[in-house]
Structure 1
């Protein structure tokens, strides 16, 4: 990817809308066009956005001054007459801090440029920290990452386990013992930067949708880590659900006689599919690893089949430890979904692991900041 190539797919349709802050919205329209389609002339931007050339020229001048775009010269195939000057997104002009709090034993983060490319990484070990101790680890991780870049930091994006409110408060994250924890406010106070917090599965689906290789149909990303949760993009929009709890599929009961879950129920999908549980099961004496993983995959397929039938999803992406998810578990889940749904529901369905690998949450956290601060996604 060249620095000024198209860097992502849109999260929502673009168009000229009436909003209170018209100038900010118009600027976002132009940035979105450059983000999606790559370099363009001022005239091209005016045609695609519906804005006047005077408005576009003024906004481009402002963005050049702020460093978000740069002039690239004339296109290779110029027509007769004065050639237009192309402008493109300056992907390395600013950096974003992305944090992933979903892992069992560590919290990880990265410095990411505006094209979703990781520039530096850092992590801290959890060592059993919960509650305020876990919050302090997040603050330390963020501060360390900010210190790792010399570029202006646009903001901090966080993928957190649990149910997260629109204001960045973690309403409930049992594995970290967080209840109504104002994580975004704490981070903003400590760093002085804009902060955006979302559920880690929702963050992962944003990363996969924007910077991954997903198609144009409905997308579900199933995030497997300390817990299990799903994020969904339908019709180009992130699905939040009533009270923001869409995707809490990890707390669907699959084994009433199973283990006690952190949510206080018994036999949730999380007690079968979470990474710590899978590793414990595979480490038990005499266990046939591939058969055990296939059994879990079948359980997962049974849970996902009604979702596929109801929503006619185009892709299901498993995100988590590849050594656990890719292979027998994924194959069994895929097979079970197809066995339990009508052919029209599963025709063209892709069940795969994430092409973004372990970076899917931190890259998705970058999308939170890009959308919140620049209006692009």
Structure 2
């Protein structure tokens, strides 16, 4: 008998698992009867009915009326999440010009939106004050019950929401999650913006469970999911591919002081600067696409990923850059000719929507 076999499963753990299972099923499949919910989850009708009653009492699930149809007997009562009444406040701190925020309900509708100018790089206290102000403004504008605040921020962020290192924001060892939770008195979840984007693509955008989402903006970062779970790494820095040197031929000077980092080829700032200096745009995009593939080919091979998603301005990333990346990636990998490389389906709100997923997962167990 293994150690795992000897571990006692406590009733409260089983109930928490079953509760999450019911909520996840409703979130993805929509309204259904208690009997249908029992069949979909594999739980008994008694267990399902008890859980639904508990979730209704908690204000998470609502009855939607009876099913219309020709079945004999009493019509079935349909239940669903309170999609319009339950909301999440979300912050995206990755934009180059502003901090963006929104209140989004569980149907995906944006109920309120706001932003504040981004302080200059390195102004740590001003950055924190701006985030606090934006969070308070959003909570004041929310028309319904807010489940929590989700935050996507650039940098290395630990599992408990400490910003270990975010040089552009001037934050080091900042307990941002705890700070905001103390301020607003609600659950708060803080994670790296690229990881948050990966959650959005998987949970809301239909991406596979073995996917890398590459977020290109002021910098370059990636979120990696394997079997549907975020890969965080030993230092919470998995996906930090922006400062990986690509090639042995030198290359542009990067903000980190090295030459030839992926970010120095691929970030939007780098692309636009090279074009403004007179370089041929097509050549710039081909260079960037090739360097991107050089960086990610070993990761695709090592983790056997099935999908690469690019998140950022389509006018820069789609077309020559993406086509070159596809060609180079396939020439540098084995058994991965069918790896899909596509643009994000979540648009500019990918981090905001991923921040919603942070709260759904952390507070309701919905993934």
TM-score (norm 2): 0.91
Distance 2:16 2:259 in 1: 49
Q: Could you tell me which residue of structure 1 aligns to residue 345 of structure 2?
A: 355
CA contact (8 A) 1:229 1:248 kept: yes
1:86 aligns with 2:84: no
1:309 aligns with 2:301: yes
Distance 1:170 1:24 in 2: 29
Q: Aligned to 2:273, which of 280, 296, 299? A: 280
Distance 1:149 1:230 in 2: 31
CA contact (8 A) 1:116 1:211 kept: no
1:141 aligns with 2:134: yes
Q: Could you tell me which residue of structure 2 aligns to residue 14 of structure 1?
A: none
1:367 aligns with 2:357: yes
Distance 2:164 2:253 in 1: 21
Query: What do the CA deviations read for 1:115-168 (whole angstroms, capped 9, x no partner)?
Result: 333233211111415312211111111111112212111101011111111110
CA gap of 1:226–1:103, structure 2 versus 1, over 3 A, is: same
1:167 aligns with 2:149: no
CA contact (8 A) 1:42 1:86 kept: yes
Q: Could you tell me which residue of structure 2 aligns to residue 177 of structure 1?
A: 170
CA contact (8 A) 1:296 1:329 kept: yes
Distance 1:263 1:19 in 2: 51
Q: Aligned to 1:192, which of 185, 188, 194? A: 185
CA gap of 1:346–1:198, structure 2 versus 1, over 3 A, is: same
CA gap of 1:287–1:264, structure 2 versus 1, over 3 A, is: closer
Q: Could you tell me which residue of structure 1 aligns to residue 261 of structure 2?
A: 268
Distance 1:18 1:265 in 2: 52
Distance 2:230 2:70 in 1: 40
Q: What SS class does the counterpart of residue 152 from structure 2 fall into? A: strand
Q: Shift of residue 327 of structure 1?
A: 1.6
Gaps of 5+ in 1: 1-16
1:345 aligns with 2:336: yes
Query: What do the CA deviations read for 1:279-337 (whole angstroms, capped 9, x no partner)?
Result: 222222x3221221121111111112222222222211110122211122111111111
Q: Could you tell me which residue of structure 2 aligns to residue 119 of structure 1?
A: 111
Distance 1:200 1:51 in 2: 36
Q: Shift of residue 217 of structure 1?
A: 5.2
Q: What SS class does the counterpart of residue 182 from structure 2 fall into? A: helix
1:376 aligns with 2:327: no
Q: Could you tell me which residue of structure 2 aligns to residue 4 of structure 1?
A: none
Q: Aligned to 2:143, which of 150, 159, 165? A: 150
CA contact (8 A) 2:68 2:75 kept: no
Q: Shift of residue 86 of structure 1?
A: 1.3
CA gap of 1:19–1:296, structure 2 versus 1, over 3 A, is: farther
Q: Aligned to 1:58, which of 46, 50, 56? A: 50
CA gap of 1:312–1:110, structure 2 versus 1, over 3 A, is: same
Q: Shift of residue 362 of structure 1?
A: 0.5
Query: What do the CA deviations read for 1:221-258 (whole angstroms, capped 9, x no partner)?
Result: 00112221111111121211222211111121126634
CA contact (8 A) 1:64 1:70 kept: yes
Task: State the number of aligned residues.
Answer: 357
CA contact (8 A) 1:201 1:229 kept: yes
CA contact (8 A) 1:98 1:111 kept: yes
Q: What value does the CA root-mean-square deviation take over the aligned residues?
A: 2.0
Report the more deviating stretch, 72-81 or 135-144.
Answer: 72-81
Distance 1:200 1:340 in 2: 28
